[in-house]
Amino acid sequence: MDALIVTQAINVVYAVSTLAVLTLGLAVIFGLLGVLNIAHGEFVMIGAYCAYLTQSWNWPYLVALPLTLALCALLGAAVERIMIRPLYRRPFDTLVATWGLSLLLRKIAEAIFGPGFHSVTIPLPGTVQFLGIEYPIYRVVLIAVSFAVAAVLMIWYGRSRTGSRIRAMVSNPELAQAQGISVRRLAAATFIAGTCLAGLGGVMVAPLVPVQPFMGLDYVLRAFFVLVVGGLGSVPGLLSGAAAIGGVDSAISAASNATDGYFAVLVLAILFLWLKPRGLIARG
Amino acid sequence: MVSMRQGPNRRTFLGAAAAGAAFGALPGLARRAAAANREFKIGLFIPLSGPASLFGPTDRACAELAAEEINKSGGILGRSIKLIPTDAGGPPAETAKSAVRLMLEENVDLFIGSHDSATREALVATVKGKIPYIYTPVYEGGECAFNVYCLGETPNQQAHPSIGWLAAERKAKTYYLIGDDYVWPRKTNAETKKYIAANGGKTIGEEYVPYGAPNKFEEVVTRIKSAKPDVVVSTLVGADNVNFNRTFAGFGLDKNIARLAFLLEENTLLGIGADNSRNLYSCMGYFANVPSPANTKFKAAYHAKLGPKAPQLSTIGVDCYAGVNCAHALVAKAGGTNGKKCMAASEGLTFKTAAGPATMRGRQVDKTMFLADCKGTQFEVIKTFANVPSGSACKT
Amino acid sequence: MRAASLVVVIALALPLVLGQFWAYQLGLYALYASAAIGIGLCWGQSGFLPLGQALFFGLSAYLSGFAFIAFQQHSFIAVLTMPVIAFVSGLFAYGIGFVVLRRPGENTAYFSMITLALSLLAFQIATSWNSVTGGFDGLKGIPGLPGLSDLSDVYYVSAAVLLIVLGLASWLYHAPLGVLWRALAQNERRLALLGFDVRMLKAVAFAVSGFMAGVGGAVYAPQQGIVTPQLVGFGLSADLVIWAAIGGRASLIGPVIGTLLVGSLSAELRDSVPFWEVLMALFFIVIVLAFPQGIAGLIEPAWQRLEGRPRGPAPVLAPKGLTDRPAARLALSDVSVHLGEVTILDHLSLDFDRAGIFCVIGPNGAGKTSMFNVVSGELAASSGRVDLGGMEIGALAPHRISHLGLARKLQIPSVFPHLSIADNLAIALWSGRATKLQLLDPRLRRWTSPMLEELKSRYPFLASGGRKAAELSHGEQQILELAMALLTEPRVLLLDEPCAGLSPEETGAVVDIVRWAARRLRGSVIIVEHDMSLVKELAELVYVLHNGTLLARGSVAAVQASPAVRAVYVGGTK
């Protein structure tokens, strides 16, 4: 019984940390640029397919990282230039345009890889014993990497020069421009960073899920709910949102069943959107 | 759907006459004149879009292979078969609309469908038995509408032999059932629980995950681990089934707990992956590795036609092969597509399937079922059960 | 009218021309089109995008399905429930709109996502609640509409429903309500300051769209005989948005064109054209990026020629205001405003106790504009009270304060740029004069008032009604906005730097109009101004604000002589 509770508790931690890392890309783009990138999930999908390709070419798993980053950066740059830049002040239009993009990317993936499932072998198979329980190694590593990525991002955003420029751009684009910051280039870089983070998340979860063209849909909504609950523009907000959404889902799934967990997530998101649309931890 | 509820009447006639008058009766007359030696048109409803579309290419290839073979030997009643593949992967209303189009504009003679039950219900309500409708995939059983014929595995055919075998050979006592929350898993599990009890076993857990939601399975697997069943029976479908089995093995439960899945075919197994398929069983009416002479012949023909890039064979796809063959046998025996005659002809009807001949009873099929053990991403058939009854019989 | 009759003739003739299957197909898409018109109403007219519109379509389809099954023996009763069901769906939308759209402006994107989440939730409920909805396999065996037998009959029912919804939309778009919706999308703040309850306007727009979707859904159930969870889900919701966008969301007929054309083309070509969906996705992106007006934008000119310009010029005199307005006396007592750590107003007390022209001056950051924001109800005071004619207005919403006789002109000209000058002025006339029901009467667009006629004779450009406000020069827009503020015939008029950025001639014009207004309204005009020459010219009394509190009060000369005031100005601005 004890082992059950401990394992379920770690399941909650796992759910929260993977959700956080899968939300980062969306959070960066939405929080900093005000653009809701509905195609976020498709960039996760691209990461997952890169992982699949890397394995099918018998390369080491980590090669998937540069491959994904390169692909997502290229694609992100093109998308930003063609679709996002002309629409920065039209939030609904970016929403529907990126929705079209998600459809497009999904169909392209289907044309290249077919509609079927692909399986990515877990690079670190097996389980590890701790706290009197047994837990899959790869998931433990994933928890650690997720927290590391979030921490690095938070420190970089808070301390680095680029981070402070981005903060300047977000709080007052005209002023930032006047201070010699190229808002246009910075916004493009931010968008690319967001797509790359999404791809990175894809590489991380690829060994655990069925890799297929439709997989992206699952991620974008949950990620959006995390932002809604957590609030925009801060890593602590993101983590608290992931903790609320992922935690509630996982905890209720553990205590009751998955249906209740899913309903709880939807209701929680709606309540937050309605009652506290700025989230738990809002910027400024 | 309203319009199909009563047969054509005066107003239909008037409408058609007016349309004819406005746009020339000539094409209509020509069509009727050509009807004598026209093709035998079959509307083939397969998923070409949506998540189930991974079955679409195989469905189509198998149906085309059967049509080609039949056409070589003279077609149906001397008419060569023309397949009209139509998407059934969207919402049921869209598919029903396509059915209306096929009936009104293409004058199709028969429907074959491989899609979910919601779409089947919509099609049954639309077609109203006007032309025969052969429903091919694995399903929950019990479809008895007029002029509808079901070929797929029923819960009885899957659960009866497999639970019996697990109880006898693996001495399984305790079972945990996990499925998606809709009709097929619930009906299949009801049947499964019956056989578990009949074999002296015990169902120690039964749970469902929301169908169509982005599910994850860490919590379920942890719960199963602590319940320590001998067997987990999965009625999850598609991505959920892949996800569950990968998580299950990831947590190391595959070492000691056997898994039996009721919708596990070659595509799903590819998704689950070789690392996660230990102690995993499937019970279906066909596997690509079924070692029967009929299957060897079928596969040779299939690969000769489609070459090295042939879509993956699996039970859902080859059921479309059976579907076209069934249509051939049924219409030939009934001498046409008249509903009453077809219903009568269906009883005891024997037709060709990929795994060997099958016989129809009560408009369902007595099937030869295969129990397979997963070896990597291949199925190894370990036991064959001949002529398992469907468990539901409809009036003929 | 010509356009309308053409549409009716086409609708009647279609099944004869296209044949039975197309009648059936269009019969189905006509129902979706009703819902798509609702999207156009919210997105194209009112400026907020509902992403879960299938919620209302599906909800009514289920309800209608239950009704037809329950009243199997008395199908005419089931038919009677259909309008009720559509109404319930509209009411449900109203509830959601009213509750969710509480805050102005910023949360419209959130509103989109709430509707999306609600639609997902409804899908899951419909899928999981097997005993009631039939679960994933759907609610089956719904009897058909009585008395209909073939595909053409079904088509005519759907077409009639679509025409009714189109008629309703056309009427609303021409009525003052439609003008207000478009105004809402362009400048929500101005509309609130003019005395309109923007939250209510949005909720009503959403309710009407919910009703339109509900009408389609209520007919869908008996037409199709089966209702499945997809009908409340995200897929249909997204399709409706795409159809409305491609057809042209801003136009009346656009969403209908989009739905009928794209929907039926997709159904036809999906099976035969490889990568049809890739093409559709690309097409959709191009439309959003390059042709926000959609297909309707391309055919609109022809349509308009067809429609003609029926509205005669005969103006109608607007009635007097609906409410009795208190005397022109504005007083702030001990008002403080804090934002976080920052104190913006610090126990500020001001009394404008008679008619006349007053100027409020002070260095940047003195709290002048914040004082205006408090008075107009846009900024809540942390403490203290604000009275207008002896009534406390501190807790009232901007539109209520406007009804009590307060008008405000913003610093940067704030008009409705894409509405005609005539509509801009008409909106101001409706404020406080038109009842809620009257907003449905298109004749209100011809309202005029003695003051409007006087303004038009002073500034002839105000009479060139058809031009869009955006086409006016900066100075003309300032005057238009000022005219709009005046037309509400306020007792207290707040002007925030009315001459900023104007040429000397234009400045002269504004000075004239301010003087004229003060006489004409017999109320007080309170001006925030930096330009001391203007202050000298206009002000009867000057109030000097500094650090959120009153520093001095008196005539221009007295204030200029005050050592405290000099100290502040010489010490430079903060």
- In this predicted model, what pLDDT tens digit does every residue of B158-196 receive, in sequence order? 999 999 999 999 899 999 999 998 888 999 999 999 999
Across the interface, whether the CB atoms of A103 and C280 are under 8 A apart is answered yes
Q: For residue B377, what is the nearest residue in chain A, using CA coordinates?
A: A119
> What are the residue ranges spanned by the domains of chain A?
2-275
Structure tokens at B145: 């509408």
C-alpha separations of B15 from A100, C12, C156 in Å: 41, 12, 12
Across the interface, whether the CB atoms of A136 and B181 are under 8 A apart is answered no
Across the interface, whether the CB atoms of B117 and C137 are under 8 A apart is answered yes
Give domain status of residue B386, yes or no: no
Look at residue A136 and tell me whether its pLDDT is greater than 70: yes
Distance from CA of B342 to the nearest CA of A (A): 36
Count up the domains in chain B and report the number: 2
> ∠ CA(B305), CA(B310), CA(B314), 5° rounding?
110
Across the interface, whether the CB atoms of A210 and B218 are under 8 A apart is answered no
Phi-psi region of A125 (alpha: psi -120 to 50; beta: other; left: phi over 0): beta
Rounded Cα gap, residues C562 and A56, in angstroms: 84
Across the interface, whether the CB atoms of A119 and B246 are under 8 A apart is answered yes
Across the interface, whether the CB atoms of C270 and B19 are under 8 A apart is answered no
Distance from CA of B238 to the nearest CA of A (A): 9
- My answer on whether B131 and B51 are in the same domain is yes
Radius of gyration of chain B (CA): 22
Structure tokens at B143: 């479809």
What is the structure's pLDDT at A4? 85
**Cβ atoms of residues B227 and B204 within 8 Å:** yes
Cβ neighbours of C279 in B, within 8 Å: none
Torsion sign (Cα): A140, A141, A144, A147: negative
Query: Helix crossing, C20-39 with C2-18: angle to 10°?
Result: 140
Beta bridge partner(s), residue B207: B178
Per residue, the 3-state secondary structure of C519-544, as one string, reads HHHCCEEEEECCCHHHHHHHCCEEEE
Kindly state the average pLDDT of the residues A26-49. Answer: 89
User: Would an 8 Å CB–CB cutoff place A83 in contact with chain C?
Assistant: yes
The per-residue DSSP string of A43-71 comes to HHHHHHHHHHHHHHTT--GGGHHHHHHHH
What is the structure's pLDDT at C573? 41
Cβ neighbours of A2 in B, within 8 Å: none
What is the structure's pLDDT at B20? 37
Across the interface, whether the CB atoms of A93 and C121 are under 8 A apart is answered no
User: Would an 8 Å CB–CB cutoff place A86 in contact with chain C?
Assistant: yes
Q: For residue C225, what is the nearest residue in chain B, using CA coordinates?
A: B1
- My answer on whether B114 and B92 are in the same domain is yes
Q: Write phi, then psi, for C408 (nearest 5 degrees).
A: -140, 135
Kindly state the average pLDDT of the residues A204-222. Answer: 85
* Amino acid at the residue B317: G
The single-letter DSSP state of residue C447 is E
What is the structure's pLDDT at C107? 53
Short-list C219, C100, C213, CA closest to C153:
C219
Q: Give the up-direction half-sphere exposure of residue C175: CA atoms within 13 A in the CB hemisphere.
A: 14
Give domain status of residue B71, yes or no: yes
The single-letter DSSP state of residue B232 is E
Across the interface, whether the CB atoms of B11 and C153 are under 8 A apart is answered yes
Give domain status of residue B160, yes or no: yes
pLDDT grade for C307, boundaries at 50, 70 and 90: low
Q: What CATH code is carried by the domain that includes residue B137?
A: 3.40.50.2300
Give the tens place of pLDDT for each residue, B261-284: 999 999 899 889 898 999 999 999
Give the tens place of pLDDT for each residue, B52-71: 888 888 999 999 999 999 99
**Cβ atoms of residues C423 and C194 within 8 Å:** no
- My answer on whether B127 and B225 are in the same domain is no
Rounded Cα gap, residues B352 and C203, in angstroms: 62
Give domain status of residue B235, yes or no: yes
- My answer on whether B48 and B179 are in the same domain is no
Across the interface, whether the CB atoms of A119 and B220 are under 8 A apart is answered no
Residue corresponding to tokens 């694609």? A75
Give domain status of residue B371, yes or no: no
Torsion sign (Cα): A184, A186, A192, A197: negative
- My answer on whether B138 and B173 are in the same domain is no
Short-list C548, C421, C559, C558, CA closest to C477:
C421
More confident residue, C2 or C181: C181
**Cβ atoms of residues B157 and B285 within 8 Å:** yes
Bridge pairing between strands C383-388 and C406-409: unpaired
Look at residue B12 and tell me whether its pLDDT is greater than 70: no
- My answer on whether B24 and B148 are in the same domain is yes
> Residue B219's domain spans which residues?
155-284
Distance from CA of C224 to the nearest CA of A (A): 28
Mean pLDDT of chain B: 86
ipTM of the complex: 0.86
Structure tokens at B175: 């079972």
- The second-level CATH assignment, the architecture, of A2-275 is Orthogonal Bundle (1.10)
- My answer on whether B351 and B249 are in the same domain is no
Give the tens place of pLDDT for each residue, C445-477: 888 888 888 888 888 888 877 788 888 888 888
Helix (H) or strand (E) holding A150: helix A137-159
What is the structure's pLDDT at B82? 92
**Cβ atoms of residues B262 and B233 within 8 Å:** yes
Q: What burial class does residue C1 get, using C-beta atoms within 10 Å of its C-beta: 0-12 exposed, 13-18 middle, 19+ buried? A: exposed
Look at residue B122 and tell me whether its pLDDT is greater than 60: yes
Look at residue B356 and tell me whether its pLDDT is greater than 80: yes
**Cβ atoms of residues B80 and B39 within 8 Å:** yes
Rounded Cα gap, residues C556 and C275, in angstroms: 75
- My answer on whether B73 and B186 are in the same domain is no
Short-list A282, A176, A278, CA closest to A237:
A282
What is the structure's pLDDT at C272? 72
Best of A40, A209, A215, A225 to disrupt the B interface (most B CBs within 10 Å) is A209
pLDDT grade for B14, boundaries at 50, 70 and 90: very low
> ∠ CA(C91), CA(C92), CA(C93), 5° rounding?
90
Give domain status of residue B4, yes or no: no
Which residue of A36, A103, A263 is in closest CB contact with C109?
A: A36
Q: Which chains form contacts with chain C, at 3 or more CB pairs under 8 Å?
A: A, B
Short-list C249, C233, C204, CA closest to C101:
C204
- My answer on whether B177 and B103 are in the same domain is no
Non-local (6+) Cβ contacts of B173 within 8 A are B167, B200, B201, B202, B230
Give domain status of residue B366, yes or no: no
- My answer on whether B169 and B56 are in the same domain is no
Q: For residue A135, what is the nearest residue in chain B, using CA coordinates?
A: B251
Give domain status of residue B388, yes or no: no
Out of B284, B313, B328, a domain closes at B284
C-alpha separations of A86 from A70, A90, A127, B41, C431 in Å: 24, 9, 49, 50, 37
Give the tens place of pLDDT for each residue, C384-412: 888 888 788 888 888 888 888 888 988 88
Short-list C545, C538, C527, C526, CA closest to C388:
C526
Q: Give the up-direction half-sphere exposure of residue C447: CA atoms within 13 A in the CB hemisphere.
A: 26
Structure tokens at B260: 């039996």
* C-alpha B53: how far from chain center: 14
Give the tens place of pLDDT for each residue, A147-202: 898 888 888 888 888 888 887 877 777 777 777 778 888 889 889 999 999 999 99
Q: Over pLDDT 70: what percentage of chain C?
A: 93
- My answer on whether B163 and B310 are in the same domain is no
Hey, what domains does chain C have and what are their CATH numbers?
2-231 (no CATH), 330-570 (3.40.50.300)
Cβ neighbours of A228 in C, within 8 Å: 110, 113
Give the tens place of pLDDT for each residue, C189-220: 888 888 898 889 999 999 999 999 999 999 99
Within 10 Å of residue A232's Cβ, how many Cβ atoms?
20
* C-alpha B124: how far from chain center: 15
- My answer on whether B110 and B222 are in the same domain is no
**Cβ atoms of residues B364 and B150 within 8 Å:** yes
What is the structure's pLDDT at B33? 42
Look at residue B15 and tell me whether its pLDDT is greater than 80: no
User: How long, in residues, is chain B?
Assistant: 396
Q: How far separated are the first and last CA of chain A, in Å rounded?
A: 45
